[in-house]
Amino acid sequence: SPVRGVYPYEYTDGWDKLDEPSLPPKEEFYSTLKEEGIKDVHYEHAIVAL
CA distances, 19 to each of 6, 12, 33, 36 (Å): 17, 10, 25, 25
The per-residue DSSP string of 1-50 comes to: -PPPP---TTT--SHHHHT-SSPPPGGGG-BTTTTB---HHHHHHHHHH-
Higher-pLDDT residue of 33 and 49 is 33
Quote the pLDDT of residue 2: 62
Q: For 3-45, what is each residue's pLDDT tens digit?
A: 667 899 999 999 999 999 999 999 999 999 999 999 999 999 9
Domain locations in the chain? Answer: 15-49
Q: What pTM did the predictor assign?
A: 0.80
